[in-house]
Amino acid sequence: MTTKTRTYWENDNGAIYCEAHLGSYMTAAILTNPKAIIHHTPLGSYYKMMIHEVKDFEALMTELGKRPECCETCRG
């Protein structure tokens, strides 16, 4: 069984979003160049988070007693 890891992107302000909540500029950028780890859009730059960064962030959120989702929108 293969488990797909969600991909998260962090913007210039430190906000983290999953691909479902990035918006149209980033969706277009990813479709244009899916292997890039940095995308620049009219709304700012986004950096693809590495798996260890995601795990560290989720662990921190759990330790703080918050929902462990990385995405700002998913977390609510």
pLDDT in tens, 22-63: 999 999 999 999 999 999 999 999 999 999 998 998 898 889
In a domain, 55, yes or no: yes
Phi and psi at residue 20, to the nearest 5°: -70, -20
Query: Higher confidence at residue 68 or residue 30?
Result: 30
In a domain, 40, yes or no: yes
The pLDDT of residue 10: 94
**What does the alpha-carbon distance between residue 70 and residue 61 come to, in Å, rounded to a whole number?**
8
Residue 73: beta bridge partners? Answer: none
**Residue range of the domain that includes 48:** 8-75
pTM: 0.82
In a domain, 60, yes or no: yes
- The rounded Cα 40 to chain-centroid distance in angstroms is 14
In a domain, 2, yes or no: no
Give the type of residue at 35.
Answer: K
**Count of the separate structural domains present in the chain:** 1
Q: What number of other Cβ atoms are within 10 A of residue 62's Cβ?
A: 11
The pLDDT of residue 12: 94
In a domain, 3, yes or no: no
